[in-house]
Amino acid sequence: MNPDEFTIVVESSKSAREALVDLWKAALAAGWVVVGDYDLTGLLAGRGRDEGDGSGEGEGVEIKSLDICHPELARPFVKAELRTALCMPCNVLVCSEGGRTRLMAMRPGVMMPQLFSEATQALGDLPERVDRELERILQQAA
């Protein structure tokens, strides 16, 4: 499967911090809940636990992660199959590198049927609705 098939990627002219703030606002305005907010930049660059290998790889890259969920949309998934909660909440990455910022998320409407086909069959167009709402949030934040 090609990554473009199961991911949403939206370009932004904003800094990672500005896009993250606007992502918060767009998610809340759409009735979603922010469950977690993480700055992965230092962690993934090797800072924190150790100082990395000194290669400089990953320097200049800013990565933030926001976990968002819409309880009314998520409940039917969990009711149909408890293990679908392993894919929740929706994780959105805000990445900035070389002056280029991207907002990225997995498409639940594509991934959930691949992982939980029986459960998602009973949900009708709900997985696609989640995709549309998630993409709309990313577009508004960009």
Domain boundaries, the chain: 3-141
DSSP 37: E
The answer to whether the beta carbons of residues 94 and 103 sit under 8 Å apart is yes
| 79-96 average pLDDT score | 94
User: Is the model's pLDDT at 139 over the cut of 60?
Assistant: yes
Average pLDDT, the chain: 89
Please report the DSSP string for 62-90 in residue order.
EEEEEEEE-HHHHHHHHHH-GGGGGG-SE
Encode pLDDT of 22-68 as tens digits.
999 999 999 999 999 999 988 877 755 444 444 444 458 899 999 99
Residues 6+ apart with CB under 8 A from 22: 14, 140, 141, 142
| 122-127 average pLDDT score | 90
Strand order in the sheet with 90-97: 7-12, 100-106, 90-97, 61-69, 33-39
pTM of the prediction? Answer: 0.86
DSSP 52: -
Encode pLDDT of 73-84 as tens digits.
999 999 999 999
Question: Cα dihedral sign for 125, 130, 135, 140?
Answer: positive
According to CATH, what is the number of the domain 3-141? 3.30.310.70
Identify the pLDDT of residue 47: 55
Identify the pLDDT of residue 59: 59
